[in-house]
Amino acid sequence: MDEPVPPSRQRIVAGAADMISRRGLNATSIREVAKHAQTPLGSTYHYFPGGKQQLAAEAVRFTGDAVATRLRGMLRAGPVDGLLALLALWRGVLTGTNFQAGCPVLAVSIEEPADDASPEVLAVAAAVFGGWEAQFAASMRLHGADSGTAEPLATLVIAAIEGAVAMCRAQRSTQPLDRVAAQLESLVRAAVDNPARATDQGVDQPAPSDHRDRGGATHDPGSLLSHRD
């Protein structure tokens, strides 16, 4: 049985994820995270002796678990429900923070790494994206889509939403996400209702690959993605 995570450590990780979602990785310091999480600086270094890079990796993993846990519940009803839930989640993050926060997983993925950066952070980000893709692909296959359609469409879903979230922050509007939502919903519905039609709408069908669900959520991280100013 896993030991419970100390509340102070959980606050630090959640605080780091929140700050990275707003400022990016390079502009987020250990000292600022400790202040943001209202925990002593010494406690932060105690829990994360590897410093900022270790904490960043944990924050990305935390975000991945938070999203994967919510998706797991909604995808039981079908991929369209899961899609709508994910769209609603990011729309809530954007509007709830006045477009000041986005996705911390994307944030660490697009920044130029610092000289002392560890490749672990990017590896964790890649695994998180892969886990979300795998969840969607599995749900679409379960609801009638063939593997050749499900996997590339799952990639499209995650990539389009992540890009739309970034555009929404720049434009201070949910319009990019709303437009993407309408197109993705149409594609996902077509894939599960009529797989052949999904191909006609532009989803390529490569040979099946060996993706597996790497979301790895073993607990509910709570309300990480529900921060408000």
Q: Give a yes or no: residue 160 inside a domain.
A: yes
Report the amino acid identity of residue 167: M
Rounded to an integer, what distance in angstroms lies between the CA atom of residue 145 and that of residue 194? 8
Alpha-carbon distance of 153 to 91, in angstroms, equals 21
What pLDDT score was predicted for residue 40?
A: 87
Tell me whether residue 95 is in a domain. yes
Residue 205 inside a domain? The answer is yes
* Angstrom distance (rounded) from CA 137 to CA 202: 17
Reduced to 3 states (helix: H, G, I; strand: E, B; else coil), residue 20 is helix
In a domain, 229, yes or no: no
Task: Judge whether 25 lies within some domain.
Answer: no
Dihedral Cα 99, 158, 10, 76, nearest 10 deg: 120
- pTM of structure: 0.81
Q: Indicate whether 100 belongs to any domain.
A: yes
Cα separation values, 138 from 31, 133, 161, Å: 41, 9, 18
SS3 182: helix
In a domain, 71, yes or no: yes
> How many domains does the chain fold into?
1
> pLDDT value at position 202?
45
Asked if residue 17 belongs to a domain, the reply is no
pLDDT in tens, 78-114: 999 999 999 999 999 999 999 999 999 999 999 876 6
Q: Over the chain (229 residues), what is each successive 10-residue block's mean pLDDT?
A: 66 95 92 89 88 94 96 94 96 97 96 70 96 97 94 98 98 98 97 64 39 34 42
What are the tokens at 204? 């390529």
- Is 112 within 8 Å of 172 (Cβ atoms)? no
CATH number at residue 72: 1.10.357.10
State pLDDT tens for residues 159-178. Answer: 999 999 999 999 999 999 99
d(CA 108, CA 48): 18
- The answer to whether the CB of 215 falls within 8 A of the CB of 121 is no
Cα gap 180→225, rounded to integer Å:
20
Supply the pLDDT for residue 43: 84
pLDDT of residue 58: 96
Structural domain containing residue 84: 57-213
